[in-house]
Amino acid sequence: MFDELNKQMSFSITSYITELRNSPWEIFTLILDIIVVIFLIYEFVKLSKKSRVWQLMKGIAFLIIITFLSGALKLRILNFILTSVMTYGVIALLVIFQPELRRALEQLGSTNNFTKFFGIDKSLKDRTKEDIYKIIIAIEELSKTKTGALIVFERDIRLQDIIDTGIITDAEISPQILVNVFVPNTPLHDGAVVISNNKIASVACILPLADDKDIARELGTRHRAAMGISRESDAIAVVVSEETGKISIAKDGTLIADVKDDALKHILIKYLINARFGNEEEKGRITKIKGKIVHNKNKNEESEKVKS
């Protein structure tokens, strides 16, 4: 039986190659066909990893390998059993995974999921802007309740060593999550949250402290940590004081204290969006942001003016 199948396959492959030689258009469609199939397999595997289907796929792959080996080694009884299982196994899988299949079809029929599946999603710039607004909502709530907080925004310089010091979350950005993380006397409140690749990458992270002797004594550990990370990288750190509820921003080793809500939005959009993606509408327009610069990494340097 296997010999006949091999002969038929070799004949069909030979005839197909002959057709390709005679028709360049067939070559183009073949390449397109391969690309589409590879892309669909990649997306299927990526989606499968998020459900129990992934375990099933590994089991099926193992079963296929054993079936092939049993045929090659002429273990006829085992091969007969395995091929029989695989023949009727498709029907069994449809019954067992009926809820997952129904959910997948429902998601495929959804416009948002359909466009996301084929990569037609919101631009990274729009997503980043939405994430900034979500974070600002959380910061405003933390400021109102005078809940101490420290949020670090990763930019061009990777902060993987800092991320590894905390609890890896890789969670979608949500105001509720950020507020809950910093609730006093909870396991994760003491430390920094690192925002990376539009995700809450890690919480309860340990940051390097700025140890300058001329730093104002009223600045707490969070402010020193914010200055420390902004000095050792290009990251931007936002601090909420648990004593006053005031918001501060650290950038390039400089701490800007008592930043208002509008100023916070302008600064984050400028350095996290405009500096990365560009903004033609903002060119030539400079707005001074109110905020007191309480410390600069170099006394001889002119105090930084924040523009947006």
pTM: 0.59
Residue 19 and residue 55 in one domain: yes
| Of the residues 101, 117, 133, the one at which a domain ends | 117
Is residue 300 classed exposed, middle or buried when 0-12, 13-18 and 19+ CB atoms within 10 A define those classes?
exposed
What is the sign, positive or negative, of the torsion defined by CA atoms of 158, 160, 162, 168?
positive
Residue 138 and residue 43 in one domain: no
Residue 250 and residue 169 in one domain: yes
The verdict on residue 308 lying in a domain is: no
Residue 34 and residue 82 in one domain: yes
Residue pLDDT, tens place only, 174-228: 999 999 999 998 888 889 999 999 999 999 999 998 876 656 666 788 999 999 9
Residue pLDDT, tens place only, 26-51: 777 778 888 988 988 887 777 666 66
Residue 218 and residue 188 in one domain: yes
| Of the residues 50, 83, 117, the one at which a domain ends | 117
Q: Give the max Cα distance, the chain.
A: 86
Domain harbouring 164, CATH code: 3.40.1700.10
Residue 134 and residue 109 in one domain: no
Q: CB under 8 Å to 128, separation ≥6 — which residues?
A: 198, 272, 273, 276, 277
Task: Look at residue 308 and tell me whether its pLDDT is greater than 50.
Answer: no
The structural domain count of the chain equals 2
Residue 147 and residue 73 in one domain: no
Over residues 76-89, mean pLDDT: 81
Residue 109 and residue 133 in one domain: no
The verdict on residue 6 lying in a domain is: yes
Residue 137 and residue 277 in one domain: yes
User: 3-state class of 152 per DSSP?
Assistant: strand
Q: Which domain, by its residues, includes 34?
A: 2-117
The verdict on residue 281 lying in a domain is: yes
pLDDT of 249: 94
The verdict on residue 132 lying in a domain is: yes
| Of the residues 93, 117, 141, the one at which a domain ends | 117
Residue 199 and residue 248 in one domain: yes
The verdict on residue 305 lying in a domain is: no
Residue 94 and residue 170 in one domain: no
The verdict on residue 306 lying in a domain is: no
**Least trusted range by pLDDT, from 186-200, 265-279, 291-305:** 291-305
